[in-house]
Every structure is written in structure tokens, then in C-alpha cells.
Amino acid sequence: MGNITLNLKSVTDDLKEGVRLVAISKFHPAESILEAYQAGQRVFGESHVQELLVKQQELPSDIEWHFIGHLQTNKVKYIAPFISLIHAVDTPKLLREIDKQGQKNERVLHCLLELHIAAEETKYGFSHDELMAFLEDGEWRTMAHVSIDGLMCMATYTDDEEQIRGEFHLAKQIFDEVKERFFAEQPSFCELSMGMSHDYPIAMDEGSTLIRVGSKIFGERVYA
Ligand SMILES: *Cc1c(COP(=O)(O)O)cnc(C)c1O
């Protein structure tokens, strides 16, 4: 067995009930994805539109592609025909564009809203207050070609496990609050995407349903 097959198995052996693996293949070649595919993996995540389009063309058509990175509004149209899940919707404007492109493609596009919980000052994601204000505003209810299936977040990049655990715990609390207040009648709101190579066991303990694992399966990324 190749390394990728072995690494993949060690991650899938760890999966808790109710948790799915998104294998993050960004910056890794199609052959690496194919090895994971041949070992049974079907869900892959990419974070750059151009790279995703090339891989989607050349790899098997039953792969379920997820977009996990920051998505620019003007690029939604390229992935709208085939994308299975957009993990990191971080503005109302982006969600409006996703709805528009869903309509054009006559399909409902599945999305997660990105919650900003890490201590780091990144530009992306809704704060708790922004998220509640956006959901209360209700515009999203008019978007017939969008399905909000849950939340996504990233913990602070640190070795401090208690900090990571605290952040994932908070994300799960916010997920439960949002579910109860806005999606109680919608079983499709069920995904909490959290956990990467270095923190996915903690994320699963805290209630993740989708883990996004890259380097632990494919090795370190080489940036061109
Ligand atoms: C790259 C990336 C991952 C995977 O990171 P690894 O540390 O390689 O597992 C997960 N989520 C997002 C949003 C990413 O950009």
C-alpha cells in the first residue's frame, strides 16, 4: 500500500460515528487524489477555483467536490455547476451570488456559514453577533437556490489544546443556538465543519460532523 492509502486509513479508522472526512487535496497532484480515490475516498476539498476546475475535469465524475477556501464573488459561476458543498460563506453578498448562480444552473447550492472564532485577526468569517444579525434579517429565507446546511470554523493555530478545545466547544454552542432559533424545522441544517490535520480529534470530541484533513493524508504541501 502507498503512503496516501495508509495515511487515509489511519484517519478513517479514527472517524467517530456521524463524522465524515473531507480529504483536502489543494496543491497536491491528480495522481495523489486518484490514490485516495482508489482507496475508497470520494469527498475531496479544494481552496482555489482554478486548481479545482482542472482537477474536476480530469478526475472521476463521482467525486464529491467541496470548496473550503475563501471564495471570491466573481468566481462562484465557475464552480456552481458541480460543487457539492461550499464551506466558507463569509458575507451576505457571497450568499446572494451563490443563490443567483444556483438559479442559473437550476440547482440548489449547499453552503455552510463561516464562523470566526479564532483569536487570530483574519479577515474572514461572521462573528457571533454578525451571524445572529444576518440570520435575524431573514433575507436568506428568500434564497430559493441556497441551502444553509450548517457552520464552518477554524480554531486558532496553536499547540495549546485547551484553547483549541474551548474554541470548538464555543462553535458547537453557537451551532446549537442557530439550529434552535432558525433551523429547528430543517433537518438539512446538520453540519459542523471543523477540525484539520493537527486538531481533528479534538474537533470530533466537541461535535464536528465534517473534518477537513489535508497534510496528514497527502503529506506537506509544496507551494508553487
Ligand atoms: C488547507 C486547509 C485545511 C487542511 O489543512 P491540513 O492542516 O493540511 O489538514 C482545512 N481547512 C481549510 C480551510 C484549509 O484551507
**Cβ within 8 Å of residue 117, ≥6 positions away:** 125, 153, 154, 155, 167, 170, 171, 174
pLDDT band at 223 (very low <50, low <70, confident <90, very high): low
**Residue among 202, 85, 199 at smallest CA distance from 147:** 85
What residues does ligand 1 touch, defined as CB less than 6 Å away? 24, 26, 47, 68-69, 154, 196-197, 212-216
What mean pLDDT is predicted for residues 91-102?
98
Nearest atom in ligand 1 to the alpha carbon of residue 212 is 10
Instruction: Give the residue extent of every domain in the chain.
Output: 3-218
Ligand 1: residue of 11, 47, 210 to mutate (most ligand atoms within 8 A of CB) is 47
pTM over 0.75: yes
pLDDT at 224 over 70: no
Ligand 1: residue of 7, 24, 197 to mutate (most ligand atoms within 8 A of CB) is 24
pLDDT at 131 over 70: yes
CATH entry 3.20.20.10 includes domain 3-218: yes
Q: How far apart are CA 178 and CA 189, in angstroms?
A: 9
What mean pLDDT is predicted for residues 67-84?
98
**Cβ within 8 Å of residue 142, ≥6 positions away:** none
What mean pLDDT is predicted for residues 121-143?
93
Residue 54 Ramachandran class (φ > 0 left, ψ -120 to 50 alpha, else beta): alpha
> Between helices 30-38 and 49-58, what is the axis angle to 10°?
60
Over residues 151-206, the pLDDT tens digits come to 999 999 999 999 999 999 999 999 999 999 999 999 999 999 999 999 999 999 99
Over residues 12-54, the pLDDT tens digits come to 999 999 999 999 999 999 999 999 999 999 999 999 999 999 9
| Helix (H/G/I), strand (E/B), else coil: 181 | helix
Pull the grid cell for residue 19.
463524522
pLDDT at 138 over 70: yes
> Separation of 138 CA from ligand 1 center, angstroms?
31
> Separation of 18 CA from ligand 1 center, angstroms?
20
Nearest atom in ligand 1 to the alpha carbon of residue 87 is 13
Contact (Cβ atoms closer than 8 angstroms) between residue 214 and residue 24:
yes
